[in-house]
Amino acid sequence: MTEKEKNLVSQAIAAASQSTGLDVAVDQSSGLATERMDCIITMRGQSGEVRLTAEVVRNLTTSNLGPVAAKVKNLRTTGLLIAPYVNRNLAENLKGMGIPFMDSSGNLFINVQPYFIYVVGQKRVEEASIAQGSAFNPMGLKVIFTLLCMPVRVSSVYRDIAEDSGVSLGTVANTLAALERSGFVVDKGDRGRILERVEELLRRWVVEYAERLRPKLLLGRFSPVEHSWRGMGGPTHFLGGETAAALLTDHLKPAVQTFYLKGELKDFAIANRLKKDPQGPVECLKAFWRFKYPWEHGHMAPPLIIYADLLASGDPRNIETAETIHERFLAPYYT
């Protein structure tokens, strides 16, 4: 396949995942020389898995529908037509011929046991917006964070990754496709997906998190009335940055107290007697992850967040402490 066709397939499977709730992916392990088709698409869900041999068409029209349909229909295996856009009339024709299809807008027809799915009438996604895509946008960074915190999750179905990351199925599909193109994720076929170059991915995530995602998470800054930050933390809020590092290393006095909230900001502010102050030493951010990180410090954010917060501050003492956090809580996990 050409790069444009690969991008089209990535967009189509992301849209199909979003439309159906199924885990739709390219099976990288299958040989296709005998069929001379473009790729194998798998669709997995609670009812089972189906495998479809795909033919990618850059432009589907009434004039080329016949030859393309014939090629797909005459396969010895179940075929799947992938196109940039399938309008209602073309969809009805393909459905009438019993030919499965999907497009980059989320229109699709699948009639392969155990699934019958027919989605039609989705608006066209313009060619310019069928992006190769970057994994390092704000939503993609949430997915990468989940994978870095729990590397085994990379082989999970899209729905589980989406639930842990707080994003859509389409975001998961797009992010994994972009990570595969970059070599950070490798599909091993029956053995599932694995993360590669993890340390490089971690370092890249930290930079992008500070620039793209962290500013969007900030809920506000405050000044404490009398409570010590050591008394803050619990099931609905987690210590981050200098605050957590001070407890983990026992040699840092936090100038900024960072808290990630799962509960309501108002409730946290009242319970801890905080008053709004744009220059205050207490910063509250939204806790975006939805999984329980497997370590003994349950009242703290995952160590990757603590590490990223320290580096984002730009303070030399924090940067030094960040490397201690990395050596103790991150590096051993990836080696």
pLDDT, tens only, 206-243: 989 998 999 999 999 999 876 566 666 567 899 999 99
Which residues of the chain does CATH 1.10.10.10 include? 138-196
The answer to pTM > 0.85 is: no
User: Are 295 and 303 in contact, with CB atoms under 8 Å apart?
Assistant: yes
Q: How confident is the model at residue 277 (pLDDT cuts 50, 70, 90)?
A: very high
CATH of 3-122, one of 3.40.1350, 3.30.70, 3.40.50, 3.90.1570: 3.40.1350
**pLDDT, position 195:** 95
Higher-pLDDT residue of 231, 2 = 2
Number of residues that make up the chain: 335
**Per-residue pLDDT at 144 exceeds 90:** yes
CATH of 138-196, one of 1.10.10.10, 1.10.3720.10, 3.30.70.260, 3.40.50.720: 1.10.10.10
Which residues of the chain does CATH 3.40.1350 include? 3-122
What are the residues facing 274 on neighbouring strands? 224
| Token output for 323 | 């490397």
**Per-residue pLDDT at 127 exceeds 60:** no
Q: What share of the chain is helix, strand, coil (3-state, %, to 5)?
A: 45, 20, 35
Over residues 84-108, the mean pLDDT reads: 94
What is the longest distance spanned by two Cα atoms in the chain?
Answer: 76
Which ranges constitute the DSSP H helices of 166-260?
Answer: 169-181, 198-208, 214-217, 241-249
Q: pLDDT of 153-181, one tens digit each? A: 999 989 899 999 999 888 898 899 899 88
User: Are 238 and 300 in contact, with CB atoms under 8 Å apart?
Assistant: yes
Q: How far apart are CA 97 and CA 91, in angstroms?
A: 10
**pLDDT, position 133:** 57
DSSP tag of 259: E
**Per-residue pLDDT at 34 exceeds 50:** no
User: Are 23 and 160 in contact, with CB atoms under 8 Å apart?
Assistant: no
What is the SS3 assignment for 92-114?
HHHHHHCCCEEECCCCEEEEECC
- Burial of 271 from C-beta contacts in 10 A (0-12 / 13-18 / 19+): middle
